[in-house]
Amino acid sequence: MFYPLVIATIIAVIIEQIIRRFADSDPQSSADSRDILISMSIRKYLYRQTWIVNFLWLLGYIIVMFMSRGQTQTTMPDMIWQGGIA
């Protein structure tokens, strides 16, 4: 769940840098600016989603650990071996 978002964010950063590097003109044209804006928006969206998913996972983990903290461990009964030979 986490790795696809992290990998997508890294790929989005790489694509944004490639688009910035290969922009046609020094004062950027409207097409270059539009491409950069789109790639930057995608990168920001994926970065935000990665943080939200990680935070929600951590919150859920903390809640589960808090809820299971009060429970005592019970030993499993030995149901296979009854201690005698029948």
The verdict on residue 7 lying in a domain is: yes
Alpha-carbon distance of 22 to 19, in angstroms, equals 5
List, for residues 8-20, the tens digit of each pLDDT value.
889 999 998 898 8
The verdict on residue 82 lying in a domain is: no
The verdict on residue 43 lying in a domain is: yes
The verdict on residue 26 lying in a domain is: yes
The verdict on residue 74 lying in a domain is: no
The verdict on residue 83 lying in a domain is: no
Domain extent for 24: 2-69
List, for residues 67-80, the tens digit of each pLDDT value.
888 776 667 666 66
The verdict on residue 77 lying in a domain is: no
Give the distance, in angstroms, between the CA of residue 4 and the centroid of all CA atoms in the same chain. 7
The verdict on residue 78 lying in a domain is: no
Q: How many domains does the chain have?
A: 1
- Which pTM was predicted? 0.65
Alpha-carbon distance of 79 to 73, in angstroms, equals 18
